[in-house]
Homo-oligomer: A and B are copies of this chain.
């Protein structure tokens, strides 16, 4: 609903998800199309069949007055902060079972790589949409701040990787030292 500030087709919404929201929301076409129909059936959206000059006909959706009201109700509702499941953290948590810290080390290196890619993607988005971040027009203001959220969190994740690698290396060094002593 939020994305339909301008009328759009399901296909176009998908592109918005892929190009600008992918750091905190993704959606497949197979979810978008049925969802749009459902919202139309509830009277929150209204669609129009438009034959297109190039390519197949497009189904263009726009909000109804009722849809606008529902959206505003949602925007004013309290935020849900229940933490999402992080499977990689669950994996890491049980890495103790493997009894081999070098595995954990490799795992964290992969995480680090992933977070660095995310960070670069954020920076590219920031560059593309917002430049320096100063004097933003109203319609970009919230988008910029949402991006900042992702950026700060990813930086924190990278800081964790550094901290964790340091701790792992310290443990591994202690092990190594103890093993050498045992040999004597």
Interface residues of A (CB under 8 A from B): 2, 5, 21-26, 71-72, 74-98, 103-104, 107, 110-111, 114-115, 118, 138-139, 141-143, 145-146, 148-150, 152-153, 155-157, 159-160, 163-164, 167, 171
CB within 8 Å for A86 and B25 given contacts A72-B97, A79-B91, A91-B75: yes
A96 to chain B, nearest CB (A): 5
CA distance A97 to B63 in the complex (A): 13
Contact between A145 and B159, CB atoms less than 8 A apart: no
Contact between A98 and B81, CB atoms less than 8 A apart: no
CA distance A21 to B92 in the complex (A): 13
Q: List 28 A-B contacts (CB under 8 A).
A: A2-B90, A5-B94, A5-B97, A21-B90, A21-B93, A24-B84, A24-B86, A24-B89, A26-B85, A71-B97, A75-B98, A76-B98, A79-B107, A79-B110, A79-B114, A81-B114, A81-B118, A89-B149, A92-B146, A93-B143, A145-B167, A148-B160, A148-B163, A149-B160, A152-B157, A153-B160, A155-B156, A156-B156
CA distance A110 to B25 in the complex (A): 21
Contact between B164 and A93, CB atoms less than 8 A apart: no
A172 to chain B, nearest CB (A): 12
A84 to chain B, nearest CB (A): 3
